[in-house]
């Protein structure tokens, strides 16, 4: 069987390569555990001065998580799905708190779980191939893996816009918003990795040397409209603002939102409103685990996966079907604490 995580050392750096190309390197519980084991093994290894994270063959960096497994588990007792979230979120937190420099090369599709791998890294490299998104509301899920933390800290209301619409960003847009620290041409990546492995003390200088000016970031042309229309934390007010805006752009976004789960759009807004006030990333992951444990067994996630991934009719029947039908009481239930022995906990370091 092909190893789905390629773990090695190269000079003074360690390498983690995602190697599940037929699934665009989407993460499984086993892959998350393997990544964690490697990172823990290198934590106190004086020969390893930095960790590089990328993908082997194929178009993706990482297309997300194993959605089919999550849905199949959610339709039963949810145990396997909760185990995946618990393992993945521990990996996300480990990367966020890792003492050694980490570098993520987002050369390709970077969605969901891939965002969770890349954004905790100190250095995040985008290229002309980068396509980053958190498209979870389209399948009745929410922008997890730290989305409540990262998206709530983006400029203006771009985080709320991305969380609700699932809009795809290219590499230039990632750099403009601060999601990427550097923009490199894909053809320069191999040489940059060699140079970093030779002397990890100068990662920033190496990346700066190979960096080029990105193209114009399209999202910046819509910043004022995004900040205006997505200003509220109330989903109904956002929809009303887009309708009042009345431009082609606003109508396109309104049309996109009409395909999303009203329940998880409201969950996403609540998550970001809370997330911007967290001072500890572990608190963010604890909340997201509660939400994930609840949402994965609810109708909208199972129906979203059926419509978008299984049957591919792209016609999910959301329940509640309208934003007005999603009560504050329902949101409170989704965010409710779990029994103490079922709560998420970080790794003991």
Q: 4, 54, 88, 144: which one is catalytic?
A: 144
- In the annotation, is 108 catalytic? no
In the residue annotation, 144 being an active-site residue is answered as: yes
Which residue is catalytic, options 11, 60, 64, 65? 65
Q: How far apart are CA 49 and CA 100, in angstroms?
A: 6
**Neighbouring C-alpha atoms within 13 Å toward the C-beta of 14:** 23
CA distance 10 to 296: 39
- Cα 177 to Cα 324: distance, rounded to the nearest angstrom: 32
Burial (CB count within 10 angstroms: exposed 0-12, middle 13-18, buried 19+), residue 50: buried
What is residue 65's DSSP assignment? B
Q: What is the Cα–Cα distance from 299 to 332, expressed in whole angstroms?
A: 17
Judge whether 65 counts as a catalytic residue. yes
The question of whether 136 is a catalytic residue gets the answer yes
Contact 25, 61 (CB under 8 A): yes
Of 49, 88, 107, 136, which residue is the catalytic one?
Answer: 136
* Alpha-carbon gap, residue 121 to 226, rounded angstroms: 27
Determine the 3-state secondary structure of 28 from DSSP. Answer: coil
Residue 15's DSSP bridge partners are 8, 52
Of the residues 113, 116, 159, 166, which is catalytic?
113
205: preceding bond cis by omega (within 30 degrees): no
Which residues are known catalytic residues?
A: 65, 113, 136, 144
């Amino acid at each position: 069987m092909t190893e789905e995580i390629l773990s090695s050392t190269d000079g003074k750096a360690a390498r983690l390569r995602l190697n599940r190309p037929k699934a665009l390197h989407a993460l499984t519980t086993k892959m998350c555990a393997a990544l964690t084991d490697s990172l823990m093994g290198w934590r106190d290894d004086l020969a390893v001065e930095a960790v590089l994270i990328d993908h082997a063959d194929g178009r993706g960096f990482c297309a997300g998580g194993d959605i089919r497994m999550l849905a199949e588990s959610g339709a039963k007792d949810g145990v396997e799905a909760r185990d995946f979230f618990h393992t993945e979120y521990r990996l996300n937190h480990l990367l966020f708190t890792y003492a050694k420099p980490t570098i993520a090369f987002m050369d390709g599709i970077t969605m969901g779980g891939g965002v969770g791998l890349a954004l905790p890294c100190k250095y995040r490299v985008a290229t002309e191939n980068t396509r980053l998104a958190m498209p979870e509301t389209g399948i009745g899920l929410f922008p997890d893996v730290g989305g409540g933390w990262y998206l709530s800290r983006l400029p203006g209301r771009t985080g709320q816009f991305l969380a609700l619409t699932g809009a795809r960003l290219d590499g230039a847009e990632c750099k403009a918003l601060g999601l990427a620290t550097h923009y490199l041409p894909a053809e320069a990546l191999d040489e940059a990795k060699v140079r970093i492995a030779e002397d990890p003390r100068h990662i920033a200088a190496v990346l700066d040397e190979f960096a080029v000016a990105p193209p114009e970031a399209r999202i910046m042309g819509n910043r004022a409209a995004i900040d205006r229309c997505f200003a509220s934390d109330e989903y109904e007010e956002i929809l009303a603002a887009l309708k009042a805006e009345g431009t082609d752009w606003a109508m396109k976004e309104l049309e996109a939102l009409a395909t999303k789960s009203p329940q998880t759009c409201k969950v996403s807004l609540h998550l970001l409103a809370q997330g911007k006030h967290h001072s500890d990333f572990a608190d963010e992951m604890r909340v997201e685990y509660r939400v994930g444990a609840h949402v994965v067994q609810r109708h909208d996630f199972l129906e979203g996966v059926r419509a978008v991934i299984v049957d591919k009719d792209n016609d999910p029947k959301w329940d509640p079907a309208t934003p007005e039908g999603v009560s504050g009481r329902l949101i409170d239930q989704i965010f409710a604490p779990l029994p103490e022995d079922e709560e998420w906990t970080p790794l003991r370091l």
